[in-house]
Structure 1
């Protein structure tokens, strides 16, 4: 082995690389503790990407009390109906997804709001078992450390609702020209059903399919009393 190759594979270099990898893995868990503080306003990895690429973004942080309950109910009933009852991961839904995968069937979504929040803050878009494997412990950690209200507040302030549009306040202003506190039941439902793909599902200009889905979410939101007690109990 040449001197150059010995330097490339030196124990000190390998040690530094391992330390760097471990630090990178542990950083999100440290940030979870840091984000407990209510005056900290986290940004997502997509926002970071927009900054790095010089595209910029629109995000106006608002507290949960400044977001219409209509939106909270609609998002919860559209994205994670068991939000108040699980500890970050809906294991019943997750088992169903695993079984569908093993059976070779198309899988349905099983991401909870804590899982989506962890993905938005610390990971990347796209479907892969690697990302999902990293997402699960982060969601469990976030649900353990943060209150349900804090999880919902962070989620509604980092969710993407259009190109460069992040958070409920920017979304409400962009799509409906109203503050997030004034969203109607219909507007809230349209925003909720656009979350899975806000680029093709445009809340301010909904297709017939989006309008139909928003009607379903409206009905669920009206009957959500027992399901949202961890937020408005």
Structure 2
């Protein structure tokens, strides 16, 4: 009796896991061409606002096509977050090894742009090894379905750039007073600079820390060869 129950629970659990991955894959295929209407992080943001857990307004978001986004920002995001983006397949094992070697076994700073996309789009905020493992699997799945340009396009549209600003269309207009397609190299580096901590750093009121990071990103953009680097996508 106990063995039969265990087998049933095991089959049920495996069925749920298979259904989750199948459903996620279907959504990935659908979003291969369609503008992304929202993300899991934006939904969680709005729920927290309703529950009074987050003392800011609702998530602000507007889709902007990749062709209408400044290439300087696309390059700045790669320079800041994932310089091997054109070359890995969703998970950068070289960066993981480097992160483990420099942080005493703790995995920090090794998430690729693809991993950040699946995290923001499908997962939840709270960190855990389980989420990290799921994130890696989904990232490799996404790389099989989407092009690098599409991954970067969605990343720039759903990433959080301010306390309630999601995506470059809203962030550029509200925080810097310009259109995402007209961002200069300095403005692009400034926006990309807030990506590790969008709630702590403000592009409209940059701290010394953010300005220092902005200058580092500009140097990295130059070392990558400028916007010509995007031809590798």
TM-score range, shorter chain: 0.7 to 0.9
| Distance in 1 (alpha carbons) for counterparts of 2:47 and 2:190 | 30
TM-score (norm 2): 0.84
Q: Which deviations, in whole Å up to 9, do the C-alpha atoms of 1:124-172 show, x marking residues without a partner?
A: 2233211110011111111111111100110000000112210001000
Other-structure match for 1:48 = 43
Change (3 A) 1:106 1:13: closer
| Distance in 1 (alpha carbons) for counterparts of 2:111 and 2:183 | 25
Give RMSD over aligned pairs: 2.5
Other-structure match for 1:121 = 121
SS, match of residue 77 in structure 2: helix
SS, match of residue 132 in structure 1: helix
Change (3 A) 1:208 1:10: closer
Other-structure match for 2:78 = 76
Superposition map of 1:1-233 within 5 A: 19-37=15-33, 39-53=34-48, 54=50, 56-99=58-101, 104-105=104-105, 107-225=107-225, 227-231=229-233
| CA drift at 1:22 | 3.8
SS, match of residue 201 in structure 1: coil
Moved more, 132-141 or 12-21: 12-21
Change (3 A) 1:50 1:167: same
SS, match of residue 23 in structure 1: helix
| CA drift at 1:64 | 0.6
Moved more, 221-230 or 56-65: 221-230
Unmatched tracts of structure 1, length 5 or more: 1-8
Q: Is the 8 A contact 1:100 1:107 kept in 2?
A: no
TM-score (norm 1): 0.84
Q: Is the 8 A contact 1:168 1:180 kept in 2?
A: yes
Structure of larger gyration radius: 1
Change (3 A) 1:184 1:20: same
